[in-house]
Amino acid sequence: MPVITNVSPYGDLDVPLLRQVVEAGASVDVSDDQAHRLLPQGENWAPADDAAQVIADTLTAELEALNDADDGPPAKSAPKAAWIGYAQAQGDADAESKTKEQLIEQYGETS
């Protein structure tokens, strides 16, 4: 079970998701789902153990993939993994089963 810490500059937080008030600086055990919902609020919450850090790192990677998707498709010379990541960011659940050429054909080609 992940542990997160209230780092909010506003002090104690009344957290309906947890059905409790979490005091400033206090750490609290949360479910994975609760951690996924609270850790994106980086101004309020920080991971306090390895389980929470793994979730925070995953959320960061997902956000970076979405930001990369906003930049358009990868270059044709990019590795297949880059094309798979781009396709998955576009919502393609079957991207891993496609060839690089199929991904380029479907999602466009850049220089």
Extents of the domains making up the chain: 1-60, 72-111
**CA-CA distance, 47 to 28, in Å (whole number)?**
10
3-state helix, strand, coil in the chain (%, to 5): 45, 15, 40
**CA-CA distance, 12 to 101, in Å (whole number)?**
53
- Whether the predicted model's global pTM rises above the 0.75 cut: no
Amino acid found at 72: G
**pLDDT digit string (tens) for the chain, length 111 residues:** 999 999 999 999 999 999 999 999 999 999 999 999 999 998 999 999 999 999 998 888 777 776 665 678 888 888 888 888 888 888 899 998 999 999 999 998 654
pLDDT score recorded for residue 81:
81
pLDDT score recorded for residue 74:
84
